[in-house]
A and B are shown apart, each in its own frame.
Chain A
Amino acid sequence: MTPQLEAITLTNFRSINAPVRVPLDAPVVLIHGQNGTGKTSILSGIELALTGDIPSLRRVDAGYRQYLINKDAADARLDLIARGLPNGRTEASMRVTSNLIAGAPLLTPELAKTYSERCYLAQATLGKLLEIYQGQDAQSSTSPLTLFVKELLGLDVIEFIVEGLHDAGDVRRVRNAVPAYSDVESRISDIERRLSRITGGLKYIDSAITAQSEGLQSAVARLGLSKVPTIAADCGVLLKELEAKSSKNQLMSVARTRRDLLAAKERLATIEANSSIDERTRLETNDLSAKQQLEKWRQGRGKVLSETIASLLPAFPSLPSPDSSDPEVSRLAALGAVEAEIRRCSDLLTKQEQVTSRLEQIGSELERLEERARRLDEQILAHASNAGSLAQALAGLLPHIHTEECPVCGRNYAEISKIPLVSSVSGKVSALSESAGMLEALSREKTTTSSQLTTLSAERDRLVATQSTQVAAEEANTERARLQILKQRLDGLADEAAQATTLILNAGIAARKLSDAREANDQLSSLIETVRQAASQLRKEFNFPKQPLGIELSLLLDFAEQEEASLNALEELRVTAISRIQSLQGQHASRDSMLEEQADSTLEFESLRKAKERADGTIDTARTLSKKVLDIRTSIVQRVFNESLNRLWADLFTRLAPDESFVPAFALPRRSSGTVEAVLETVHRRGERAGNPQTMLSAGNLNTAALTLFLALHLSLDPKLPWLLIDDPVQSMDEVHISQFAALLRTLSKRLGRRVIIAIHERPLYEYLALELSPAFAEDKLITVELGRNASGYTTAKATHHIWQEDKAISAA
């Protein structure tokens, strides 16, 4: 059953100030009234009872609810009766008080939204419809029109797919969203690096193995061993062979022999100088001759020297004998002793003279000092010995003398002298003090003189004690003369003694040379034995004495050196070969481990690569799918816009404005990606695209465009609510438009089954529409409602039900 509104009763709602019942149970209801009589109130009331809200008023004034109650009443009431609603409801009673709206609206929220947006066109809305649809502030992708179009076309699912697959568009997003992906990527790149490193390592180690093998090859050939191994296991065998081939002992033996020979060669050089027979004979002759010459000297001049020295022995027992030691040394020692004794005698004599002269000097000095002492004693006696203490006592009296009266005897001193007493006493004190000073100086002088006398007397006594006797002095004089003669003799023997010294030296050298020569002979024998042994060690023939020992020795030494060098070279080669083979072993081992790692890594790389290939395949599929879905969206949008919405809108617009060249339309999306945006444009009837309707159309036609867009959107929907409620839509229409609109309304009502409720304030238009929308067939019905106010100012509503009557003018048949 088609949903239908039956009637609404409004009480104190907005401008309606009395209970008014408006019947609505006809395909067309026309409501007429002067401005302010309540047309809009009725339509608002219907919306409130259906939806619980009045969005058309809310858009104008958010606080609209406080004006819903008529200003003369405390509360308002709406009672709406309907039938055929999907939810089975038939009645809604809404009570509006100052702070709340009570009652359950008739429609479900979903249908309520459809009603407010697609069924009811409020007067205030029409003028702004295009702005509202296109969204004044919102992005065009979220404008109400866009949202409606998306919902209409079911594009949500496409956006779900496209947005859901957004990550596939860029591998960076995949990495973020699926950590496993970037993990596999980084593992692949790790393994690639590792494989490249292994390849490089293998290349390097292969070339190292080749170089090592080549080096080893030549060494092995020279050492006379088997071929170079190509695998690690064979290296051990060669290593053992090499280790067994050591020539260290042999080398040590040869080296020892060479050192022996070298030492022998050095010794031979020293021995050879002393080893000839002639030389030895000559040495023996020399020795003999030297000994004879020495003996001859000893018997001649040497004897004089010996005797001379012997004569000195009683006086100088420690003198060396010229026979037992160097004659010159002996002579010089004797000479030294004699000269020393001569000096001693001379000193003694000189000293004796000095003492005698000094004693004479002291004697005269002593006489002079004794005379002085005597004079001093005389002067001392001339001075009173107590002068000093008397002067002190008199000085003590001086302060007590104030007058001329004597403080001692009390007599007047003036009687005896004209000099004042004080002056007299002071003079006495002064004279006494002077005498005391003199006495002291003389005593000191006396003491000095006495001390000098004592010192000189002591010196005289000491000198007298040391003075030798005349006899002793004469003895010294005689001794000195004897010694001077001996000295002259010793001086005369100087050349002889020097010659003797040379002779003794020569005899010593000759004897030593002879002894050396004898020793060299012994050494040579042992040297020959050494060389013979060395030759046998070196397995060489010993050709001495066929060949001189020196030459034989040099030949053997050369051979030993060569042998040692060749053995050394061989040993070096062997050691190098061992170290090479050891490093070859190591290289083979690391090559094997590298090959193993390479195999493992390659295996892992392959499985990772396959995994990434699978994932990339999925990403590619997703990307392709996303693109295809966008293409499909484009085709759907284009198809629906062109075939459905734009065609319908153009049809509706053309009905109302047949001579307008520019027809409004939804602009087709120019690109497939991005979001769908419902943008309006105009299209010339010839097909060119032009600007937005708001810039291209006159005000009247813009209104027509908005009205027809509203109708087109309404007609695009599944007619769950086949209702159209339009509040005074013809305000800015001219007569042509009005008559066209009337025809359109007829079509909507009579042919498309829409139940139409129109509010009109203009009387002629109301009457015209009442005629146009008259019932055209049986069951068709028109209700006209005329609003007004009675004498008391209360709202009145006069409803007329027009039913179909067969046309008498022209037969329908």
Chain B
Amino acid sequence: MTYSNSVDRVVSLLLDAGYRRLNSPFSLAGLLFNVAAVMVGADRGSDLVIVEDTVASASREIQTRIETIGRAMDALDSKRPITAVLIGPRPSAAELDAMSRVARILPVGISSLTDQDDVLRNWLAVLLPLQLPPTGHQLADPLSEIMNQVGSEDPVISRLLSSAPLGTSSVQKALHQIIELDLVIPEKRGAN
């Protein structure tokens, strides 16, 4: 999927992660904020995500807007954490510092990079759900895999594998016993 601009890509990633997009401009405590995009976390996530494009708005404006939103949320006694995703050239350190007092700032950078999608994903990762590996008791079941791959038709293999869970010495003992059995020579005919 390709997007015409980075804002859309951010919105798309967050929508995929279960975020809900609000209309922009949106009002807060009677104030109207015209941001590039605004999203809220659904279900157990309560994050408010503001997406801004430093190319579309001057970074000074953006700083003011974020600070105002922060203050408005405070005034409304909202506990929602605020995250600002800044697309485009990174604002000055002072501006970023000022903004980060009221919100989590994710300066994802300029949009012309070839690995744009990965970079975006990395920056937004903190907002995205965490995929955990399957958790059983173990991450793998080697013995079953061995049995599946090697097969257990050969009686030698079958005996060796069945002794494996009991430990090294058990496998070793089984091997020795099989070899000893192989070496048993049938009684000579007419030996009496």
Contact = CB atoms under 8 A, between A and B. Distances in A.
Interface residues of B, number: 78
Contact of A776 (B46, B100, B140, B143): B46
A611 B136 contact: no
B66 to A, nearest CB: 13
B138 interface: yes
A809 B29 CA distance: 7
Contacts of B154: 621
A8 to B, nearest CB: 27
A658 B76 contact: no
B45 interface: yes
Interface stretch (A190-198, A241-249, A744-752): A744-752
A161 B136 contact: no
Nearest to A613: B182
A625 B143 CA distance: 12
B157 A621 contact: yes
Contacts of B145: 632, 636
Contacts of A752: 130, 132
A619 B157 CA distance: 11
A762 interface: no
A167 B173 CA distance: 11
A774 B79 contact: yes
A735 interface: yes
B65 to A, nearest CB: 15
Contacts of B125: 651, 654-655, 658
Contact of B167 (A160, A603, A604): A160
Nearest to B136: A718
A152 B44 contact: no
B78 A164 contact: no
Interface string B128-161: 0111111111111111011001100010110011
B139 A644 contact: yes
B11 to A, nearest CB: 17
Given A166-B172, A628-B149, A807-B79, A611 B184 contact: yes
Contact of B132 (A183, A608, A621, A715): A715
Contacts of A656: 126
B81 A622 contact: no
Contacts of B160: 161, 164-165, 622, 625
A184 B181 CA distance: 12
A608 B178 contact: no
Contacts of B100: 735-736, 739
Interface stretch (A78-86, A172-180, A562-570): A172-180
Contact of A747 (B129, B161, B182): B129
Nearest to A610: B185
B81 A163 contact: no
A617 interface: yes
Interface string A714-755: 011111000000000000000110011011101110111000
A740 B183 contact: no
A810 interface: yes
A88 to B, nearest CB: 21
Given A177-B176, A619-B179, A628-B146, A164 B163 contact: yes
A647 B185 CA distance: 56
B186 A607 contact: yes
Nearest to A780: B44
A655 B28 contact: no
B106 interface: yes
A617 B77 CA distance: 79
A685 interface: yes
Interface string A601-636: 001100110011011011101100100110011001
Contacts of B41: 776
Contact of B146 (A183, A614, A632, A659): A632
A161 B161 contact: yes
Contacts of B60: none
B15 interface: no
Contact of A611 (B97, B166, B185, B188): B185
Nearest to A753: B44
A647 B132 CA distance: 9
A160 to B, nearest CB: 5
A611 B178 CA distance: 12
A771 B81 contact: yes
A167 to B, nearest CB: 6
Majority secondary structure of chain A interface residues (helix, strand, loop or mixed) = helix
B156 A621 contact: yes
Contacts of A618: 156, 175, 178-179, 182
B185 to A, nearest CB: 5
A376 interface: no
Interface in A760-813: 771-772, 774-777, 780, 805, 807-810, 812
Contacts of B14: none
Contacts of A168: 175
A164 B79 contact: no
Given A152-B138, A160-B170, A632-B146, A647 B104 contact: no
Contacts of B150: 625, 628-629
A164 B168 CA distance: 5
A625 B81 contact: no
A181 interface: yes
A744 B126 contact: yes
Contacts of A636: 140, 142, 145
Contacts of B132: 648, 715, 752
A626 to B, nearest CB: 9
Interface string B97-118: 1001000111000000001001
B182 A719 contact: no
Interface in A574-625: 603-604, 607-608, 611-612, 614-615, 617-619, 621-622, 625
Contact of B175 (A614, A622, A628, A747): A622
Contact of A777 (B44, B97, B182): B44
A628 B143 CA distance: 12
B16 interface: no
Contacts of B188: 603-604, 607
Contact of B76 (A632, A719, A748, A808): A808
Given A621-B154, A751-B44, A772-B81, A160 B165 contact: yes
B80 interface: yes
A719 B78 contact: no
Contact of B133 (A151, A633, A716, A719): A716
A324 to B, nearest CB: 111
A157 B165 contact: yes
Given A621-B154, A810-B40, A747 B179 contact: no
Contact of B45 (A608, A647, A776, A805): A776
A201 interface: no
A159 interface: yes
Given A640-B139, A658-B123, A809-B28, A750 B167 contact: no
A153 interface: yes
B171 A812 contact: no
A608 B185 contact: yes
B53 to A, nearest CB: 19
Contacts of A736: 100, 105
B178 A808 contact: no
Nearest to A620: B156
Contacts of B175: 164-165, 167-168, 618, 622
Nearest to B127: A743
Interface in A649-702: 651-652, 654-656, 658-659, 685
Pick from A160, A165, A640 the residue with the most CB of B within 10 Å.
A160
Given A154-B143, A184-B185, A685-B118, 20 more contacts: A153-B138, A153-B142, A155-B142, A161-B171, A163-B168, A177-B176, A181-B179, A607-B188, A617-B182, A619-B179, A645-B139, A718-B137, A739-B105, A743-B126, A746-B45, A746-B81, A775-B79, A777-B43, A777-B46, A805-B77
Interface of B: 22, 28-29, 40-41, 43-48, 72-73, 76-81, 83, 97, 100, 104-106, 115, 118, 122-123, 125-127, 129-143, 145-146, 149-150, 154, 156-157, 160-161, 163-172, 174-176, 178-180, 182-186, 188
